[in-house]
Amino acid sequence: MTTPGISVLDGKYMVTMDLFPQQSKEFNQVYAFYENLKQGRFTTTKCADCGAESFPPRVMCPECFSTNMQWIDWPNEGTVIEFTEEVVGVPLGFGKAPLVHALVDLQGKKTMFVRVINCAEGQLKVGDKVRVAVFDVDPVPQEVKGGIQEIPRVFYAFEPVT
Amino acid sequence: MDRNVCIIAGGMSKWGVRNGSQRDFFQEAAKACYEDNLQVNPKEIDGLLVASAYTERTSYQTHLAPLVAEHIGVKPKSICARVELLCASGSSAIILAFGLIKAGQADVVMVMGGEKLYTPQKWEVFYSELASVDHDWDGPQGLGLPPPVFAMVAKQHMKQYGTTKEQLGAISVKNRRNAALNPKAQFQQGITKDEYMNARPIVQPLSLFDCCPITDGAAGVILCAEEKAKQLTDKPLVYLRGTGQASVNNMSANMPSWTTWEALKIAGQEAYRKAKIEPKDVKVAMTHDCFTISEIIEMEDLGFCKKGEGGPFVGEGQNDLGGKVPTNTDGGLLGCGHPFGGTGIRQAIEVMKQLRGDATQQVKGADIGLTHNLSGFIAAHTVLVYGREPV
Ligand SMILES: [Zn+2]
């Protein structure tokens, strides 16, 4: 890896240029979300005191302010309420146009606005079923005790259920 | 102490794809602001607030306010700080200046806002916009750039209320026409209905002229206590009457509704209540037309027309000159462009001119004016009400 124009940064990792979140326990207290995602589970935190299920996952319940959180599985399949296809201006890191997004009813838990992958232009229809699709993203070279350790990472989109 | 607060000067740099740096534009804007009111001696300004969202990202500069103060010849002693709420940074800074002056913590405050968004390689600004939404959750879905979000809003509004592409076009044609009369605006040429309808698609149903551009530029205004304003301007006084700013969610998964903007209704009602007015009293408005559909929903949720009737309202010209509430008479975001921190300041300048009676496209009898911004993933709304009289 080189960094043109800024030779002192050659080979250096920059968190400020990373489009994905930090997923190691040293840099993220909800790292379990990503650990679970690696196993194909779509999870979030549930408040053990008031029962509120929040997304994104929390350290503190925004309803009753308890910090007594437990991880629960959420559905990993939902229904397309509406969708969009971005044909111009797809940002770096999201492949070739079109970039497809859908507003997905996650079985009443939340209405998620998410990227839909493995889906051709014109393929998606309102009412279609889509499911969580987990993919690998670039690992983070993190400093650990004087050395560099590669922290593997994943993220999720949705894909049509065929 | 609870004092009335006036806006007594305002000016902006040329906005657009500009040669120059952030600090260059702040100097140009300050010069224009000083020239708007030669009775104000910049040495008398005791506070400075600077609104900028991307200064740390595209100019690698924090601690911006003292840098701007040094360049514009101001030596603040009551407040000298930066304010950030992305697209509403400028309006947020005005609200804070209002509160400080009202409470007697400051007397004459300059509020500036601006951005240098174009970088030597254009991809960087689009990539940097991942910071505008929830970086960890919405950003990795490719939602840093807003067109898919507003296309989803438009699609749902069309489905729910029958809003048409032609009605979206009425906003674009109006605001581009207004911008053509504003020499500081990014776009100096209007567009025809045909050009609008035939523009290349970005995300259906939005095409090129439904979207505001990326913009470099800055703007500045000066606010002060009423007693001071009487000494510092011979022009009609313009008062800041009331403000509201609301947020009910940030991440997309927590949007209560895509077509009724709850936070806008809350912010609007709060501003109306404090200003002791009703929506029908507003004679001129600068609302956040980042996309054409936004202005339509804003007409509804600010109470200028009934819910769901925003499309016909704008289609009939009710928010154009001669209509019920002429909106974005200076060209709006669609025509002037949108250097995030600068936008709320630009809106304040146009409302100030309208209420003073010296706007380029003067709305007759304008005595109450409103500005509005949405920011982030439609995650916060900011409303300010100005008037020819204090509350
Ligand atoms: Zn709880």
Report the distance separating Cα B76 and Cα B48, nearest Å: 6
Closest-CA distance, A21 to chain B, in angstroms, reads 5
Confirm if B229 and B8 have CB atoms less than 8 A apart: yes
**Average pLDDT score over residue span B32-56:** 98
Nearest CB to B202: which of A89, A114, A137? A89
User: Which of B87, B211, B290, B336 is the catalytic position?
Assistant: B87
Which chain B residue has its CA at the smallest distance from A55's CA?
A: B253
Distance from CA of B51 to the nearest CA of A (A): 21
Classify the phi-psi angles of B191: left when phi > 0, otherwise alpha if psi is within -120 to 50, otherwise beta: beta
Between chain A and chain B, the number of residue pairs with CB atoms below 8 A apart is 95
Q: ipTM beyond 0.95? A: yes
As given in the structure block, the two tokens for residue B257 are 């509704």
CB contact under 8 A, A113 and B202: no
Average pLDDT over residues B316-327: 98
Give pLDDT tens digits for A104-137. Answer: 999 999 999 999 999 999 999 999 999 999 999 9
Chain A residues with CB-CB distance to B252 below 8 A: 112-113
Residues 35-54 (B) with a CB less than 8 A from some CB of A: none
Whole-number pLDDT of residue A1: 61
Residues of B in contact with A93 (CB under 8 A): 127, 142
Interface test with chain A among B136, B209, B257, by most A beta carbons within 10 Å: B136
Q: How far is B208 from chain A (nearest CA, A)?
A: 9
For residue B228, report the distance from its CA to the centre of ligand 1, in Å: 51
Position B1 scores a pLDDT of 66
Cβ distance of A88 and B159 shorter than 8 Å: no
Angle formed at CA B147 by CA B192 and CA A124, multiple of 5 degrees: 110
Interatomic CA distance for residues B84 and B113, integer angstroms: 10
- What are the φ/ψ torsions at residue B286 (nearest 5 degrees)? -115, 100
**CB nearest to A84's CB, from B123, B203, B255:** B203
How much is the average pLDDT of B92-99? 98
Residues 305-364 of chain B with CB under 8 A from chain A are none
**Which among A91, A112, A114 has the least Cβ separation from residue B127?**
A91
In sequence order, what DSSP letters do the residues of A59-115 get, joined into one string? SS-TTT----EEEEE--SEEEEEEEEEE-S-PPTTS-SSPEEEEEEE-TTS-EEEEE
Q: How far is the CA of B375 from the centre of ligand 1 (A)?
A: 28
Out of B139, B141, B147, whose CB is closest to A89?
A: B147
If we measure between CA atoms, which residue out of B24, B20, B152, B133 comes closest to residue B87?
B133
Q: Average the pLDDT over B319-347 and give the result.
A: 98
Mean per-residue pLDDT over chain B, rounded: 97
* Mean pLDDT across B25-36: 98
Please report, for chain A, the start and end positions of each structural domain, with discontinuous segments joined by +.
7-41+76-160
R_g (Cα) of chain A, nearest Å: 18
The confidence band for B90, taking pLDDT boundaries of 50, 70 and 90, is very high
For A123, residues 6+ apart whose C-beta sits below 8 A from its C-beta are: A160
Contact A93 B127 (CB under 8 A): yes
Whole-number pLDDT of residue A146: 87
Architecture of the domain delimited by B5-121+215-232: 3-Layer(aba) Sandwich (3.40)
- The contact set of A with B (CB < 8 A) is 16-17, 19-21, 55-56, 82, 84-94, 99, 101, 103, 110-115, 137, 155, 157
CATH superfamily for domain B137-213+242-385: Thiolase/Chalcone synthase (3.40.47.10)
Residue A13, pLDDT above cutoff 80 = yes
Residue given tokens 């010296």 in the structure block: B358
Cβ-in-10-Å burial (0-12, 13-18, 19+) of B321 comes to: middle
pLDDT grade for B39, boundaries at 50, 70 and 90? very high
Active site residue B87: yes
Q: How far is A52 from chain B (nearest CA, A)?
A: 13
Contacts of B152 in chain A (CB under 8 A): 82, 84, 101, 103, 113
Q: What is the pLDDT of residues B208-220, one digit of tens each?
A: 999 999 999 999 9
Closest chain A CA to residue B252: A113
**Which of A20, A55, A93 minimises the CB distance to B253?**
A55
Euclidean distance between CA atoms A22 and B230, whole angstroms: 55
Judge whether B60 is closer than 8 Å to chain A, CB to CB. Answer: no
- Please judge whether B139 and A157 are an interchain contact, meaning their C-beta atoms are less than 8 angstroms apart: no
Among candidates B135, B155, B253 on the partner chain, residue whose Cβ is nearest the Cβ of A84: B155
Q: Are A117 and A158 in contact (CB under 8 A)?
A: yes
Q: Nearest chain B Cα to A5, which residue?
A: B120
Q: In chain B, which ranges are E strands?
A: 5-12, 47-51, 79-83, 108-115, 201-203, 206-207, 217-225, 239-246, 284-286, 368-375, 380-387
Name the segment(s) of chain B with CATH classification 3.40.47.10: 5-121+215-232, 137-213+242-385
Of B103-112, B142-151, B322-331, which range is least confident?
A: B142-151
Q: How confident is the model at residue A162 (pLDDT cuts 50, 70, 90)?
A: confident
Residue B144 near chain A (CB below 8 Å): yes
Nearest chain A residue (CA) to B208: A88
Span B223-278, pLDDT tens digits = 999 999 999 999 999 999 999 999 999 999 999 999 999 999 999 999 999 999 99
